[in-house]
Amino acid sequence: MTEEPDYYAILQVDPLAEKEIIEAAYRRLAAKYHPDLDHSPGATERMKLINAAYQVLSNSEKRRAYDLSRGVRPGRGPTPLRTSLGQRYVWWILLAALIIMVVSLRFNARFFLPIGFLFLLIWFVWLRRTWRR
């Protein structure tokens, strides 16, 4: 089974890009990689990919279907439709960190404070990893 190419990467745009941004990226890439201007061996194939990407991403219905086929909510960027178990519980880690820190400060049990900071650090790193996807 062949996978569908990543049209956002082909046009070098963000999945949240507006239609005008996609059109500007298409024009820039078409001017750079058009076979009449670029005489490299793969210029025709590259231009076919750029044209296919533009055909899908410039049409709102085709773009929505393409995003759904990739498992992405239309119009919401790279947020997966099905969140993993870890992503679902990332907020519980933050809550646990805050509760541990507040309780340790309230009852003067300062030896629990590093545990709270550790949970907070884990939450921060986990959240950054999720946002980069």
Q: What was the pLDDT predicted at 41?
A: 85
Q: What was the pLDDT predicted at 84?
A: 52
What are the φ and ψ backbone dihedral angles of 72, each rounded to 5 degrees? -120, 140
Q: Where are the alpha helices (DSSP H) in the chain?
A: 7-11, 19-33, 43-58, 60-69, 85-88, 90-106, 113-132
Q: What was the pLDDT predicted at 98?
A: 84
Q: What was the pLDDT predicted at 80?
A: 46
User: Looking at residue 12, what DSSP letter applies?
Assistant: T
pTM, entire model: 0.54
Q: What was the pLDDT predicted at 54?
A: 95
Q: What is the mean pLDDT of each run of 10 residues along the chain (133 residues)?
A: 78 89 92 85 89 93 88 55 56 82 83 83 77 59
Place of tokens 């393409």: 66
